[in-house]
Amino acid sequence: MAESKRDYYEVLGVDKNADDSAIKSAYRKLAKKYHPDMNPGDKNAEAKFKEASEAYAVLSDPDKRRQYDQYGHAAFEQGGPGGYGGFDFGSMDFGDIFGDIFGDLFGGGRSRGGRTSNGPMKGQNLRASVRITFEEAVFGCEKEIEPLQKDECKTCHGTGAKPGSSPVTCSKCGGRGQVVFTSQSLFGTVRNVQTCPDCNGSGKIIKDKCPDCHGMGYISSRKKLAVSIPAGIDSGQAVRLRDKGEPGVNGGPRGDLLVEVVVAPHPIFQRQDMDIFSTAPVSFAVAALGGDILIDTVDGKVAYTVKPGTQTDTKVRLKGKGVPSLRSANVRGDHYVTLVVQTPAKLSNDAKRLIREFDAATDDSLTAVERYKASKAGGDAEKSDKKRHGFKK
């Protein structure tokens, strides 16, 4: 009965104002978690899967969702106010989302029309990493790496079979490279396809393996490859070397090699997107009187004029001294510098005398505490004298 059902929005864990994308995403997570094929024999998981599927079937359809928002579960009861005459899963199209779900769960999408293929397939992508300095990331550089590369075996010419022999058709998939299996769900029988586990999609089984490649069809070796690191790249980004990955299957093209860049930290500079941040020391004299200082940048030292009376934590901007854009090396970010006024640690007697004279000529801060104590002591003495002579406030 309608009263025994949970609210559909609560089932999917979404707000009533959730858009289609949020509803689909929520259902996809629940369907993956509770699908019967992932929880064989678990009745509780099966019930949750059905509940989530029912909620999605309604909330993913604009008309049904509008009826549900107006009448609740009663909209889908027999003869209910929604006018649907009962809830019908058969009219729903789950092809899109189920293609994603089953593809993730079982290694392949649903079969459409039963068509399978063991034709050429592109090889898998490989990954490598290269470490560069902060400056190399800013301006770009050339690096050399030695990844493990696979090349066609010269003995068997990539077949994996011993010379004089040939691979035979895989009996499990009949040479198609894929196997078809069915599973039962709330929507009936679902037909799925996955790569054949016996022949790994090649459609062939090697009986007599090549002695040099041991049936793999390729030989692994390390090769030196040049990598052009573009200016402006950041740590975690990758450079793609096309056709340097795994060999293809059944004559397919090679995959790519993705070289991840790791940027070493810099002792002075920090980076945020295209901008650089650092600090720069300013002497007490320059901070007070103003003057030129030298600031370290990735382009070398640059002169900057400090204004008189500059305080610690004053921030300045060096326009165009940041990191170049990956899209255009002529476009650069900025360099933001925080000025830090330095206090000298060691002073000669003459320097100390001059500072005392300077202090006396300005705010006389060196004697501020003594003056305060003296004024307080004088005030207390005056009060005591008035009390002694009988004066009252």
Alpha carbon distances (Å) from 213 to 210, 216, 247, 250, 300: 6, 5, 14, 17, 54
Q: Which residues contact 171 (CB under 8 A, 6 or more apart)?
A: 198, 205
Tokens 């696979």 belong to residue:
150
Q: Report which secondary-structure segment, H or E, holds 377.
A: helix 368-388
Q: Report which secondary-structure segment, H or E, holds 57.
A: helix 43-59
**3-state DSSP call for residue 358?**
helix
Whether 50 shows a pLDDT value over 50: the answer reads yes
> How wide is the angle at C-alpha 133 spanned by C-alphas 129 and 137, nearest 5°?
80
**Amino acid 111: pLDDT:** 41
**Amino acid 187: pLDDT:** 57
Mean pLDDT over 364-380 rounds to 81
Q: Look at 174-183, 201-210, 279-288 and tell me which has the smallest mean pLDDT.
A: 174-183
Contact present, 210 and 201 (Cβ < 8 Å): no
Whether 196 shows a pLDDT value over 90: the answer reads no
- The domain made up of 126-263 has a fold known as Chaperone, DNAj Protein; Chain A (2.10.230)
CA 330 to chain centre: 27
**Amino acid 96: pLDDT:** 45
Task: Give the Cα separation of 54 and 66 in Å (integer).
Answer: 15
φ and ψ at residue 23, rounded to 5 degrees: -65, -45
Mean pLDDT over 323-348 rounds to 92
> How wide is the angle at C-alpha 129 spanned by C-alphas 123 and 135, nearest 5°?
140
**Amino acid 95: pLDDT:** 44
Q: Quote the tokens at residue 93.
A: 């199209």
Tokens 């992932």 belong to residue:
38
Q: Which residues contact 303 (CB under 8 A, 6 or more apart)?
A: 292, 293, 294, 295
| 62/90: higher pLDDT | 62
- The domain made up of 2-106 has a fold known as Helix Hairpins (1.10.287)
Q: Look at 12-26, 179-193, 250-264, 344-358 and tell me which has the smallest mean pLDDT.
A: 179-193
**Amino acid 372: pLDDT:** 85
Whether 8 shows a pLDDT value over 70: the answer reads yes
Whether 248 shows a pLDDT value over 90: the answer reads no
pTM, full prediction: 0.57
For domain 270-342, give the CATH number.
2.60.260.20
Q: Quote the tokens at residue 391.
A: 């004066």
Give the bridge partners for 294, in sequence order: 303
**Amino acid 82: pLDDT:** 45
**Amino acid 201: pLDDT:** 77
How many Cβ atoms are within 10 Å of 211's Cβ, its own excluded? 11
| 197/335: higher pLDDT | 335
**b/e code 117-129 from CB counts within 10 Å (16+ = b):** ebeebbbeebebe
Q: Report which secondary-structure segment, H or E, holds 240.
A: strand 238-241
The DSSP secondary structure of 142-171, one letter per residue, reads EEEE--EEEEE-TTTTTS-BPTT---EE-T
Indicate the pLDDT class of residue 278, thresholds 50, 70 and 90.
very high
Mean pLDDT over 344-355 rounds to 89
Expressed in percent and rounded to 5, the helix, strand and coil fractions of the chain are: 30, 25, 45
Q: What pLDDT digit, counting tens, does each position of 85-139 carry?
A: 445 544 444 444 454 454 444 444 444 433 445 567 788 899 999 999 999 999 9
**3-state DSSP call for residue 10?**
helix
Q: Report which secondary-structure segment, H or E, holds 275.
A: strand 275-283
- The mean of the pLDDT values for the chain is 83
**Amino acid 7: pLDDT:** 92
Q: What pLDDT digit, counting tens, does each position of 294-321 carry?
A: 999 999 999 999 999 999 999 999 999 9
Mean pLDDT over 243-259 rounds to 87
Task: Give the Cα separation of 162 and 205 in Å (integer).
Answer: 12
Indicate the domain borders of the chain: 2-106, 126-263, 270-342, 349-388
